[in-house]
Amino acid sequence: MLIPLLISAFRRAEELGDAMDARCYSAAKNRTKYKKLKFGWRDIIIFFTFAALITGVVLFNIYAADIFPQIYEYIKLS
């Protein structure tokens, strides 16, 4: 009864070791730390830039036939 228990424990330890190797765990002290991300001014600029771009594309698609009739017909035929 002791032998099957030891064999099972060694198999489990080997699987756990393989899983830790696959996730790059090591015994070194210089492990990575959790860092909170902050929403900064660059993020605000990018957000408003993409919001303006998306708004421009939507408005162009809505009003393109009225403002640029020749270009709209050319795009529509393509």
Q: Is residue 67 part of a domain?
A: yes
Quote the pTM value. Answer: 0.46
Residue 22 domain-assigned?
A: no
Range of the domain at 64: 37-78
Calculate mean pLDDT across residues 7-18.
Answer: 89
Q: Dihedral through CA 49, CA 54, CA 60, CA 63, nearest 10?
A: -120
Contact 38, 44 (CB under 8 A): no
Residue scoring higher pLDDT (4 or 29): 4
Tell me the pLDDT tens digit for each residue of 28-75: 667 667 788 899 999 999 999 999 999 998 888 888 767 777 776 777
- The rounded distance, in Å, linking the Cα atoms of 65 and 76 is 10
Quick check: helix, strand or coil at residue 27? Answer: coil
d(CA 47, CA 52): 9
pLDDT of res. 35 = 83
Q: Is residue 24 part of a domain?
A: no
